[in-house]
Structure 1
Amino acid sequence: MRVVFMGTSSFAVRVLTELVGDGELEILGVVTRPDRRAGRGLRPVSPPVCCEAKRLGLPVWQPERVNRPDFVEFLRSLRCDVIVVAAYGQILKKDLLSLPPLGCINVHASLLPQYRGPDPIRWALLNGEEVTGVTIMLMDEGVDTGPILAQKSLPVLPKDTYASLTEKLGTLGGKLLREVLPAWKEGRITPCPQEGEPSYAPVVEKEKARINWESPAWYIVRQVRAFFPSPGAYTFFAGKRLKILEAFWEENNGTPCPPGTIHRIEKEKGIVVCAGEGLVVIRRLQPEGRRVMSSWEFVCGYRLSVGQRMGEEVR
């Protein structure tokens, strides 16, 4: 089966890696987003899929607009059987969707119709979902509205982060796709319309990564997990940004204190901070302009003490 792959993110990398391992598939090349300038030096940075495709020795195409007529004609010339899409980032229009004989098949990181849109993994973590999964879908002109070819669920573990769940779901999606493609080609799958009330997962604004210490501790820990490793849930301490990279929460059965106040400092456990409800125990963090460190390293280096406050930005 001749396959063109479209994807951009780390999720798509895992799907692509699984497909490349299937000897029955011929990956003709990879379509991904153009390089973008980023960082202090504003140097061009390639999407994760671009880097992986080049490592695998696959041709890479990076059109600014994938639906541009000349690029659609180029894809037509490849005579692919199917186009596989995973977290690509552009909506495909009718001319492109109707191009391959077996259609365009999307690997989506949720159990559709839950979390239609570009950021399903982050929203699942922020909303405290205990189960998520992947959907293999035949694409139509809507946003994640096409009929379902297959689904598979996955438990969300208490320690799962955006990074770990992206890797798990990408691998799961790639493995499921390897089962679906030959069955779809042979006519052994009947597409099923999506059923149930849809929910949506727009791109999460970066401002949602800022910790409000008046929130419940359990929600703050969800933020830490949902924004790890990038951009990182953050607060302010002594007027500088402080990323919280690992944390858990516990009930506050002791003396209540104002949200954001350091309640206890324990060498083995971490920095314990009061929230609007409960306590947040910080295990790993990264001060602005510094390396990632354990909470105890931060305590020793910055001379933290009980009663100091987090969250106050000095302008």
Structure 2
Amino acid sequence: MGNKLVLAPIKGYTDPIWRSCYFEHFTGIDKVVTPFLLLSEHNEAKKSYFPRFLPELGSDIEVVPQYLVKNPDTIIYSSKIMASLGVKEFNLNMGCPAPAIYKKGRGSGLLENLDSVKHILDSVVGNIPGDFTVKIRTGIVDSSLVKPILDILNEYTLKEVIVHPRYSRQLYGGSPDMEAFKYVYDNSTNPVSYNGDIYSLGDFKRVSTEFPRVSSWMLGRGVLQNPYLPIEIKTGKVVDQNIRKEGIINFISDFRSRLKGSYDKEGIAANRVKACLIYIAAYYNNSPQFITKIKQSRNLDQILDMIFLN
């Protein structure tokens, strides 16, 4: 069904500053799902709140706001405002594994509350000015929730069901449960999108060969490690190492400048750049010893030298 590539929402990384900079330097992504917007459940957000969180508006890249809420009124109210700005699709996060979110019954916590899921979907689907998607995990501790959740989702017309085939308790460790993903893939009445552990062109070829009907591919940590991953998937070719080095150095320099202009304290900007460099370093050398050296260094230029002279 094609290689439509979606940038995953990664809180603390893929915020508007990072995304604006990333899209100045790299190509291949077709759609962005935002890290969840910080909306109260009292519908206080005004139209002026949204544009700075959605810098892709007006570009060729689709932008999809993500909700991490239980109150459908929040979705209905704010979706109308964002639709007036040009947003055409909205996403409900039913997969966030963060313990604090789960305990509040949001994110993956919704997987255990089927009545709440039905209430949200009954209220939202068909009542907002745009398409609706959901992002799920395949369970809390095992895959026993996959069938009952999918049975509910199949009652509605959704643009996509985005599946990260891990359990909530795994957080981002362990291995994806591809059997659980296959169950959704085989039995969903809605298009299915895949998310999870695509770090290389080889990873993509392996999973896409097994699941050719996947409607789109959500890339997250793989893009943080290798910013060229989307275009490598689109072209089927790995980017030359010299081009990669130059492109990453230019991106980091630009990102660093933008952050300095956005934060009063330089330390905050430096920590954000370093967090990105730790991911990029893992592309070149994922050994614990090397990553520890990167984490211990406080000099960003030294970190770049360590990465590219490694």
How high is the TM-score relative to the length of structure 1? 0.31
Choose between structure 1 and 2 for higher RCO, CA contacts under 8 A separated by at least 6 residues.
2
Larger helix proportion of the pair: 2
How high is the TM-score relative to the length of structure 2? 0.31
Larger strand proportion of the pair: 1
Q: Which has the larger radius of gyration?
A: 1
